[in-house]
Amino acid sequence: MSIFGSILSSIFHHANAATPAGTAGAPANAATAAPATAAASPAAGTPVNVDAVLTDLATKNGQGLNWKESIVDLLKLLGLDSSLDARKKLAGELGYTGDTNDSAAMNIWLIKEVRQKLAANGGTLPAGL
């Protein structure tokens, strides 16, 4: 699985685990519901509140990770590899064209791009992010 796929899967897995069956957002008719996918994507039309999921994880984590502004902290919060090599691979997956040896610029680009990709894949984020 790609690194971004792991990010997406982890966030959506936590969102699905936090939503008990039969609550708001669950399909009214299970027979017409889309089948579950391996990437744990949300049901069609059911956005995932990324901010709520990550804030909940950060509260439980207790490390004071700044996931809203730091790609390293976001990866750590999700239990994923946050090494420079992993971030360079993520940058390649997402189409980064800058110098991967300029890790500060790459990291800034990565956190913004990951947020955009999360939104494009069924996640909702506050307007300020």
How many angstroms separate the Cα of 101 from the Cα of each of 13, 73, 75?
32, 19, 19
Nearest to 114 by CA among 1, 26, 6: 6
Among 55-64, 66-75, 94-103, the range scoring the smallest mean pLDDT is: 55-64
Residue 128 lies in a domain: no
What's the mean per-residue pLDDT of the chain? 82
Q: Residue 32: what are its φ and ψ, rounded to 5°?
A: -100, 0
Task: Quickly state the pLDDT bin for 62 (edges 50, 70, 90).
Answer: confident
Scored b (16 or more CB within 10 A) or e, 45-84 reads ebebbbbebbeebbeebeeebebbebbbbbbbbbeeebee
Task: Indicate the number of domains in the chain.
Answer: 1
Residue 31 lies in a domain: no
- The range of the structural domain enclosing residue 71 comes to 3-22+41-122
Residue 30 lies in a domain: no
Task: Quickly state the pLDDT bin for 42 (edges 50, 70, 90).
Answer: low
Over 80: is that where the pLDDT of 104 sits? yes
Task: Quickly state the pLDDT bin for 25 (edges 50, 70, 90).
Answer: very low
